[in-house]
A and B are shown apart, each in its own frame.
Chain A
Amino acid sequence: MARADVAAERSASRATSSGSVTLSGVTRRFGDMVAVDGLDIDVADGEFLVLLGPSGCGKSTALRMIAGLDVPDEGTVAIGGVDVTDVLASDRDVAMVFQSYALYPHMTVRRNIEFPLRNRKVPRADRDSAVAEASRMLGLDDLLDRRPSQLSGGQRQRVALARAVVRQPAVFLMDEPLSNLDAKLRVQTRAELIELQRRLAVTTIYVTHDQVEAMTMGHRIAVMVAGVLQQVGPPGEVYDKPANVFVAGFIGNPPMNLLTASVPSSAVGKSDDVDPAALMVGPDRVMVPAALARAAVDATETEVVVGVRPENVRLATDEGLPVTVTLIESLGHERHLVCATADGQSVIVRVDPSVPQPHPGDPLCLAWNPEDVHLFSGADGRRLAP
């Protein structure tokens, strides 16, 4: 599609959905490896969507396809309601911030920021005012004549952001932009990024493997693994109702305890006469709500996965799942008790350091409230209930 056609179509659709992004059945293969497999995502105009997943899950490839730096083998990419699958990156009205910042090292900060405007032959006066505005917004006024090599990591990151902001694009794409910053600066810049996105209200797709960034920054999180989208939803929903075992184990620090439990063969399929204590973790019974036990036996599976978050597990005196303490990790404000069940499965308990602590080797009983239990299929890991 010619540049003029895209621009015309984009401006026509701008009134309604200028910055919306839609991926439909997007697939990208590299040889035999499927990097992204049938990805379907709708990102609303002005939304902040975080693509979260471990390294190599295909999130950066997906972002590159939205940017136009890579072409999908199947499926379509639409921005602002216009199919841009075959449109050049420069004509897509998207700006990207790279993990390495990708600043032009031989140009000053000013030249870096105005480079996209020069390429688009923006008149000098407009260019100057746009650069002034972007540099003021990101606190770069005093650094305009420096070169990237004379800046700190945080400053370089702000220049990269300014170069993206100055174009006033329909969509911001960010590929792990905070991962090269030290921990303290990362927290500060994270807050600044959230503030900037809220202020500009520009659709932002943010790729990260850091779940803290995902939980704190995005309106919604899209969790990917092995090229497949696992779940899309607001951070609270993804945390409270993970769609499968992978999401459950990936979101949360320490991650959710996932215990493989067996359903007695006599109970399978007999949900009318369900025993709330039917599930067995090794030789021990584990209490789950009747509804969950029913879901488990209804699923006609002999093995399910019981999930409980470490902060929802409490130490009980007599009743509960018997375990042995194997390790105690102290983080200052909290402690993690790493315990082992009778059949060797690991359970982490988050405890307050001010209460009396057990020692490694001590036997304990663990209990939790029925409403804090998650149940997943033992066969494919999908959520069974609630």
Chain B
Amino acid sequence: MNAEPTSASSEEPATGETALSETASTGTSTVRSRRRRNRTVARLRLAARYLVLTALAVVIFFPIYITVVNSLLQPEQIAARPPTLFPTDPDWSSYSTAWSQGHLGRYLMNSFVVTVLIVAGQVVTSVLAAYAFAFLDFPFRRTLFVFFLATMMIPFEVTFFTNQATIVSLGWYDSYLALTVPFLATGFGAFLIRQSFLALPPQLRDAAELDGAGHWRFLTRVAVPLARPGIAALALFSFFGAFNQYLWPLIVTRDERLRTVQIGLKYLRGSQIDQINVTFAGTILAALPLFVLLIVFQKQLVRGLTAGAVKG
């Protein structure tokens, strides 16, 4: 191994510098090619990631797309095989039928009333409970908070029939009270807002106390305005949950005038307007408010999902 450089130097004694610069340029080209290879790998990885994401997006969006398409077709076109994926002659009348004859307007209004009451109730009770757990010192605070959290572990179905029996015994069957009261407080909400409150610098509470702000003023003037993102996230979650309810409204109401939009959709299928395209149109109408909310408040939703992930 030692012989090679020796013979090379004896053969070309004057070209040592050239050899050195050649070695250097070889080194540079190696670095360059390695960089190029790394860049290609990175690009391929990115392409693969986008491919997977695109496939997932198609899986998620296809049912929504097909619902929109079917709402614009005649029932016989929907039943036809192969299915129509691009309506050439869209028929928008299904929407007006769902709205007027299917009473979707009324059902949507009911859903809004119920949802707004539940959202308002959850926000108020969660903020108050969260304040107590975050800022007040009282016996068994931690234990009580664990109990609060434990309610999140119990599926709604477990308490379903007991709650229904309670509603009936209270004489609230077939009323807005039945639709709203069981959902006015939630352990999740208290948890979410408590996290937001705990993220506030403790000196703010001290400063407010010295500035003469009692608990109520600190809550309304300082804590709530600063915890707005968390509160918005809770409001959104609770809106989606309340608006999408199906089973509970079904078992505590009989009066058609109290029915919410999700039941209204089912009603569309069972009524004399037994046209599948109208049901599809109704589904789109019922989902539209949620779409709008999702698009407008996307950031808050994500923030709400990650709340407590870092600090807690």
A interface residues (Cβ-Cβ under 8 A, vs B): 64, 67-69, 88-90, 94-96, 98-100, 102-106, 115-116, 119-120, 163, 167
Contacts and interface: CB of A to CB of B under 8 A. Distances in A.
Interface residues of B, number: 17
B171 interface: no
A263 to B, nearest CB: 51
B225 interface: yes
28 contacts: A68-B209, A68-B210, A88-B209, A89-B209, A90-B209, A90-B210, A90-B212, A90-B213, A90-B214, A96-B206, A96-B210, A98-B203, A98-B206, A98-B207, A99-B203, A100-B201, A102-B204, A102-B206, A103-B207, A104-B204, A104-B207, A104-B221, A104-B222, A105-B226, A106-B222, A106-B226, A115-B213, A116-B211
Given A100-B201, A102-B201, A102-B204, A95 B225 contact: no
A155 to B, nearest CB: 17
Contacts of B208: 104, 115
B32 interface: no
* Among A64, A67, A102, A163: residue with most chain B CB under 10 A: A102
A41 B103 CA distance: 78
Interface in B199-244: 201, 203-204, 206-214, 217, 221-222, 225-226
B225 to A, nearest CB: 5
**Residues of A contacting B: mostly:** loop
Given A100-B201, A102-B201, A69 B211 contact: no
B218 to A, nearest CB: 9
Nearest to B202: A102
B213 A69 contact: no
A101 to B, nearest CB: 8
Given A95-B210, A96-B206, 4 more contacts: A68-B210, A98-B203, A102-B204, A163-B211
A106 B225 contact: yes
A60 to B, nearest CB: 11
A163 B204 CA distance: 13
Nearest to B218: A119
A361 B209 CA distance: 60
Contacts of B203: 98-100, 102
A116 B212 contact: yes
A99 B206 CA distance: 12
Contact of B210 (A94, A103, A104): A94
A67 B210 contact: yes
B193 to A, nearest CB: 16
A94 B211 CA distance: 9
A69 B209 contact: yes
Contacts of A90: 209-214
